[in-house]
Amino acid sequence: MNFELTEDQIMIKESAMDFAENEIAPSSVQRDKDAEFPADIVKKMGELGFMGMMVSPEYGGAGLDTISYVLAMIEISKVDASVGVIMSVNNSLVCYGLEKYGSDHIKQKYLIPLAKGEKLGAFALSEPEAGSDATKQKTTADKDHKHYVINGIKNWITNGISADYTLVMATTDKVKAHKGISTFIVEKGTQGFGHGVKEDKLGIRSSDTCSLTFENCRVPSENMVWDEGRGFNFAMNTLNGGRIGIAAQAIGVAEASLDASVKYAKERKAFGQTISNFQAIQFKLSDMAVKIDAAKMLTFKAAALKDAGKPYYKEAAMAKLYASKISVECALEAIQIHGGYGYVREYLVERYLRDSKITEIYEGTSEIQKMVIARALLDQK
């Protein structure tokens, strides 16, 4: 076991940190207030290789490992978790699946611009009546000669408004239940494809989330990713990697909470001394640090397994479950340390609480992660 990062990994971490501090931080407070999508930032991230980090250079990506991706996700999310989720969806839910399962036509036409960050992707699995219970897809895709005709509604789609290409899971054969679900790429502007209003969210406000509508939306057959009937497997397999990304996002927010707390504790005076002298504060800081390190270990383990080509779905679920939990806990402790100042927008810690909460919900709720972990344990016995 080696806990040292390689020189390349250190370089990626540092360049993500520099980018986050210099390019993302200056506008993050205002974008959170205005719920404004960071289009210019996302474009620059594409130019720097952050939008297709694990895609091979042959398809326009940076050809890096999952550890590097986790490091970059932590640094970006530490400064702005909204930017973190935009990056995570494009990398893990869209590019990963297209490289692994897409045809050559799909890789040339869609993966290359997505990996280069010239285009943005979204992943549409959830529906009004199929959230955690994702096999119950109601959206349909009926074959019509060389096309499929999609009808239905998707919900809670990250990048839903801004995405150029959306991966849509739809039922091609109702009789086969989840084995009759297929995945399609739908281009922005396709007739019959629309979106709802931008959701007015508690946190990650600068990312866009919306519902999507499909009314007789015709998509060429060659836009089907992988084989007919493999759409649910596609979604589950890509979500495993997505969960590593969201664990990293949660860790980024937790680190931001700890950093802000250390800084504040060293500055704030009470009872004639800085509050960092009080054991009550010290214990909170050390608890936060231990939790963050434990979350990192779980996340790096899942990433290392993925890089080694070994099964990692249970470890990814563990990483997401724990990292999202401690992210909320660290944000709450940061507010407590800041007292009244933690409850107002003047300091950033109230945003950390708002941003961390969603990590316990999307890409599989904490309850779903526990189901995945328990099923893996029981199958092994």
**CB 100, min distance to ligand CAA, A:** 13
Written as six digits, the tokens of 273 are 């001394």
Specify the residue, 212 or 335, whose C-beta has the smaller distance to ligand CAA.
212
Measure the CA angle with vertex 358, ends 260 and 329; round to 5°: 45
CB atoms within 10 A of CB 358: 27
Residue 358 per-residue DSSP state: G
Establish if 233 lies at the interface with ligand CAA (CB under 6 A).
Answer: yes
* Residue 267 beta carbon to ligand CAA: minimum distance, rounded to whole angstroms: 36
Alpha-carbon distance of 250 to 357, in angstroms, equals 9
Q: Which stretch binds ligand CAA (CB under 6 A): 235-243, 292-300, 321-329, 339-347?
A: 235-243
CB of 256 to ligand CAA, least distance (A): 20
In the region spanning residues 171 to 210, those forming contacts with ligand CAA, defined by CB under 6 A, are: 178
Is 140 within 8 Å of 257 (Cβ atoms)? no
Q: How many CB atoms lie within 10 A of CB 240?
A: 23
In angstroms, what is the minimal distance from the CB of 294 to ligand CAA?
22
Q: Is 96 a residue that touches ligand CAA (CB under 6 A)?
A: no
Work out whether 232 is an interface residue with ligand CAA (CB under 6 A). yes
Q: Residue 211 or residue 257: which is nearer to ligand CAA going by CB?
A: 211
Closest CB 79 distance from ligand CAA, rounded Å: 19
CA pair distance 193, 218, nearest whole angstrom: 9
Tokens of 104: 């050559």
Applying CB under 6 A, the site for ligand CAA has a residue count of: 23
Of the pair 264, 313, the CB lying nearest ligand CAA is at: 313
79 vs 85: CA distance, rounded Å:
12
Instruction: Give the number of residues written for the chain.
Output: 381
N- to C-terminal Cα distance for the chain?
26
364 touches ligand CAA by CB under 6 A: yes
- Return the number of the residue (239 or 265) whose C-beta is nearest ligand CAA: 239
**Measured between alpha carbons, how far is 335 from 117 in angstroms, rounded to an integer?**
36
Residues paired with residue 193 on neighbouring β-strands, in sequence order: 214
**What single string gives the DSSP state of each residue in 270-304?**
ETTEEGGGSHHHHHHHHHHHHHHHHHHHHHHHHHH
- Binders in 124-153 for ligand CAA, by CB under 6 A: 125-126, 132, 134-135
- Closer residue to ligand CAA in complex, CB, 44/178: 178
C-beta of residue 259 within 8 angstroms of C-beta of residue 20: no
Distance CA 79, CA 89 (A): 18
Q: Would you count residue 237 as binding ligand CAA (CB under 6 A)?
A: yes
- Judged by CB under 6 A, the chain residues 10 through 69 that form the site for ligand CAA are none
Judged by CB under 6 A, the residue of 206, 240, 276, 299 near ligand CAA is 240
Q: Between 89 and 298, whose beta carbon lies closer to ligand CAA?
A: 89
Cβ at position 184, least distance to ligand CAA in Å: 16
Q: Binders of ligand CAA among 280-319, rule CB under 6 A? A: 313
The strand pair at 121-124 and 165-171 is best described as parallel
Q: How far apart are CA 274 and CA 268, in angstroms?
A: 5
Nearer to ligand CAA, 56 or 233 (CB): 233
Of the candidate residues 236, 262, 285, 373, the single one contacting ligand CAA (CB under 6 A): 236
Query: Catalytic site residues?
Result: 363
Q: Which residues would be at the binding site for ligand CAA (CB under 6 A)?
A: 89, 123, 125-126, 132, 134-135, 157-158, 178, 232-233, 236-237, 239-240, 313, 362-364, 368, 371-372
